[in-house]
Chain A
């Protein structure tokens, strides 16, 4: 089983961090994983995307061109990648940031007002992790327990409060129905 995941949005939305957490989650589950950022002259505010592969087998190309899962955190990203998603794939959209709908009927689309939910819950910058929560709930690729281990691995012990915020954010995403 291979999951080819593409996360896309603006620089500064935590695209690369969310991808890293996802890759670490795969690592905790003893899977083969790869993480590849888009790199370019753009930084904060520019477009940004990140390919993550989680597989039972060794990973060939780490560049995800036809994602089975797309997380889109802004309109340009959804427009750019919507047609590359594999049939029966999953698209998770931050509907606070994206004002268009997915026309395709051969994919499952979930709209989560993640940026709004993050700000309502005092978790600025937590939209990326809320979307991951929704992803885990809908696809089951990573369990809540695994995610917790991944967060503990990535966030240093002295920044435990940040770990707590991430755990809260992932729960909000898992609990959101829509």
Chain B
């Protein structure tokens, strides 16, 4: 397979087409605009609808409409734009519709900045809109993994009839790396629930998120949570790196995990038993892997490009059985390997003993 250099954003877009995405609705925002730009060009040949909506709110509701008909639909944005989409995402979840939403995170809150950030972790995993619901949340850490994740996100979204989010950041979106594309990645999925026209040959399907009877609504939410339980069981993923004998374990996802891995390598060269747990799915959170990877550690250090959002999930995953320290940079500042190494050394040396 030929290796090509591609920007993360463009690779996400190409991967979506190969995963059978037929509709993209978006509104430009740095640092993810290349996704739209690429699809605007490529959908002409590949066959599909590219539409630049009048706003993020319009775009997400167009996704709702397209997904209702059973086609694979996607939108992408960056942090402030995702906030605008949150109402629509809640409606999509409440209507049990599959779709893929990409967030190439930038610094916040408010308009914030345009440099890389991971400050939307809480938003993505806890509260992307009102109501009881979850999204599948994937956190790839390379351009190749972003490509592979797009197909997985569409497949799982279809299988469980729920929205999936790819939580990237400005660094992953803007960087170029070698990438190869799998030949065919689109799996045709039967969608008997789709509202796609049938010539009166069957009962009509209704796509809806309004349930005025509390008991009916409760049942629909509980049914959804049964699916969530199955997902938690089957689809939580993490990469464990040098954790087998690690005394200090760093936890980090996405671009930060790359920097953390460099720091772990530097620590190992200095004879410090350091390791890394990298959650690949943020929801479901890789609880088992977190325990497995930290079993010999006396301290965990959660490193994020935020003020500390994933750290709570790390603590819960290990039931607060060990100290979990935090190091983060925020506002668009990318942590340096040397800064993380300093933290590792601080806790390795007699740390918490």
Contact of A60 among B31, B171, B258 (CB under 8 A): B258
> Which residue on A lies nearest to B143, using beta carbons?
A34
Q: Mark A3-33, 1 if CB is under 8 A from B, else 0.
A: 0000000000000000010011001000011
A35 touches B (CB below 8 Å): yes
Contact B114 A34 (CB under 8 A): no
Which of the segments A61-69, A86-94, A112-120, A170-178 contacts the partner chain?
Answer: A61-69
Q: Mark B157-190, 1 if CB is under 8 A from A, else 0.
A: 0000000000000110011111000000000000
CB within 8 Å of B: which of A44-78? 59-63, 65
Chain B residues within an 8 Å CB radius of A39:
30-31, 114, 170, 174
Contact B175 A65 (CB under 8 A): no
Contact B3 A27 (CB under 8 A): yes
Chain B residues within an 8 Å CB radius of A63:
171, 259, 334
Contact B336 A65 (CB under 8 A): yes
Chain B residues within an 8 Å CB radius of A61:
258-259, 262, 334, 336-337
Contact A33 B336 (CB under 8 A): no
A167 touches B (CB below 8 Å): no
Contact A35 B114 (CB under 8 A): no
Contact B171 A62 (CB under 8 A): yes
Tell me how far the C-beta of A97 lies from the nearest C-beta in chain B, rounded to whole angstroms.
26
CA distance A19 to B30 in the complex (A): 21
A40 touches B (CB below 8 Å): yes
Candidate in B3, B177, B259 with the most chain A CB atoms within 10 angstroms: B177
Tell me how far the C-beta of A127 lies from the nearest C-beta in chain B, rounded to whole angstroms.
22
Candidate in A20, A23, A39, A62 with the most chain B CB atoms within 10 angstroms: A62
CB within 8 Å of A: which of B26-47? 30-31
Tell me how far the C-beta of A1 lies from the nearest C-beta in chain B, rounded to whole angstroms.
15
Tell me how far the C-beta of B275 lies from the nearest C-beta in chain A, rounded to whole angstroms.
15
B5 touches A (CB below 8 Å): yes
Contact B174 A36 (CB under 8 A): yes
A125 touches B (CB below 8 Å): no
B261 touches A (CB below 8 Å): yes
B265 touches A (CB below 8 Å): yes
Chain A residues within an 8 Å CB radius of B178:
27, 32-33
Contact A20 B5 (CB under 8 A): yes
Contact of A37 among B3, B4, B174, B258 (CB under 8 A): B174
- The 3 residue pairs across chains A and B that have the minimum distance between CB atoms: A60-B262, A35-B176, A61-B259
A–B complex contacts, Cβ < 8 Å, 17 sampled: A20-B5, A24-B5, A27-B3, A27-B4, A27-B178, A34-B177, A35-B176, A36-B171, A40-B114, A60-B258, A60-B261, A60-B265, A61-B337, A63-B171, A63-B259, A63-B334, A65-B336
